[in-house]
Amino acid sequence: MKMLKWAILAAPLVILPTAFSTPTAARAVVGIDFGGVAIGYRDGYYDHSHRYHRWARRDAERYRTQYHDNYRDMTHSRDHNRAWER
């Protein structure tokens, strides 16, 4: 009888953690949307409202490979002929 009592008390400790854990396939994946970037540079980018932002970690590399036409291989302070001023 004592063993059955402990089994009944211990069952929720084993079942509940697995019932509320997130399966691997349902975990969130972080994606990057570069739709707000007008011009990209090594050190950051300008958005479509002409505001400058610094890149998040390793986003410059991803942007350069995907949108090489809008990427300039220089720092933003060295570019005196910005694309929106043309």
Question: Vertex 83, ends 82 and 86: CA angle to 5°?
Answer: 100
- Per-residue pLDDT band for 35 (boundaries 50, 70, 90) equals confident
Shortest CA distance to 84 belongs to which of 66, 75, 72? Answer: 72
pLDDT tens sequence across 36-56: 888 899 999 998 888 999 998
Q: Report in angstroms the alpha-carbon separations of 34 from 10, 21, 53, 58, 82.
A: 50, 32, 12, 13, 18
Residue-range domain boundaries for the chain = 37-85
The model's pTM is 0.56
